[in-house]
Amino acid sequence: MLLNTHAVDVASLSAYRIIYCVVMLFLLSPHLSVIEPVPDFLYSPPLSIVAFSESPASTTTLTTLRWCLAISLSILMVGYRTNMAAIAVAVLLLAVNSIGFSAGKINHTILSVVVPLVLSYSAWGSRFSIDSLTGRKRFRETAIPMGMLALIIAIAMATAGWSKLTGGWPDLESSAVRHYVYDF
């Protein structure tokens, strides 16, 4: 079948799951520590999960979300109920990012949310996991999630490039472009 002609090796995909979780646990933790409650006058969330909230998140809420995210990443890393853990990681990352964005700072971390969400439908929990040891969960080996992830990444890069191209970014009079043209 055409959809499975470029399937990824399941062991490699499972190793990627572990690497993703380790990177997110150790590189994301310092990033999350800078998200603190903001004063009411700075609270202006974009359209997101927290847009329906009238006030900023409390310290208790932020601490709870951070711990839940760390626990979910740990559960995903060891491969226990991999599909549900991946969805939980994606939802918690979206919530934490939304709270961080409510003070006006926007980071482009949507791909860190998309990866576990899309790959939760793959076989990335079929090796090196508690699920594979118990044999409780049967994973379908298909290339559809990898193709979907590649398409999402391509669309994200194309829209980022398009906005730079149409927004005047390549203007030679801009200091950002001048640095790259003249210094390299």
Give the CA-trace dihedral at 132, 135, 137, 142, to 10 degrees. 60
Report domain extents, the chain: 2-145
What sign has the CA pseudo-torsion 65, 70, 76, 80? negative
What does the pLDDT read at residue 63? 84
CB within 8 Å of 108: residues ≥ 6 apart? 160
pLDDT digits (tens, 9 = 90+) for 100-122: 777 776 677 889 999 999 999 88
Q: Report the distance separating Cα 101 and Cα 58, nearest Å.
A: 15
Q: State which H helix or E strand residue 117 sits in.
A: helix 110-119
DSSP 23-67: HHHHHHHHHHHT-----GGG----SSGGGG-SSPPPHHHHHHHHH
- On whether the CB atoms of residues 109 and 94 are closer than 8 A, the answer is no
Whether the CB-CB separation of 54 and 118 falls below 8 Å is answered with no
Low-confidence ranges of the chain (pLDDT < 50): none
Q: What local confidence, expressed as pLDDT, does residue 181 receive?
A: 60
Q: What pLDDT was estimated at residue 129?
A: 93
pTM: 0.83
